[in-house]
Amino acid sequence: MPIEAAAESIADRELSFTRIINATPDKLFRAWTDPAIIVKWFTPEPWKTVRADIDLRPGGSSCIVMQSPEGQEFPNHGVYLDVVKNRKIVFTDAFVRAWEPSNKPFMVGTITFEDLGQGKTRYTARVQHWTIADRKAHEDMGFHPGWGKATDQLEVLAATL
């Protein structure tokens, strides 16, 4: 970790949001972990997710390929750090596979699914960045509207699972 990042509080490097979703945790977890399902909701329209390769286990790698409206593909490689079925997924782009470091670590993502009963889940997406500059760049890319729109798509799809 860069020395300047160590001096920055984690709260200053974090983006997050929480939403109550009309779907059970098992449906949301499945939508996050089944490659055939994740391509249907993960990227906010008009972007698309064109491929998802997932090895769902701590240390397992993932590659989610997003496509711009112009057709340019953006592979996002990462590794799962923790997986608790129907409760939590923790992943990072600090590694591209196994324990091979990425060229530029950007974030650690934590997705939690809290069962509220009656078919509802408290869904929290928390993204911690290495630096405040990384957090700001992610915010400027449209973290809240983008992840919010993708979550809208997730909720609609989860209702059909």
- pLDDT tens digit string along 101-145? 999 999 999 999 999 999 999 999 999 999 999 999 999 999 999
pLDDT at 4 over 60: no
For the entire predicted model, the pTM comes to 0.91
What string of H, E and C letters represents the secondary structure of the chain?
CCHHHHHCCHHHHEEEEEEEECCCHHHHHHHHHCHHHHHHHCCCCCCEEEEEEECCCCCCEEEEEEECCCCCEEEEEEEEEEEECCCEEEEECCEEECCEECCCCCEEEEEEEEEEECCEEEEEEEEEECCHHHHHHHHHCCHHHHHHHHHHHHHHHHCCC
Give pLDDT tens digits for 66-110: 999 999 999 999 999 999 999 999 999 999 988 889 999 999 999
List of domains in the chain: 3-158 (3.30.530.20)
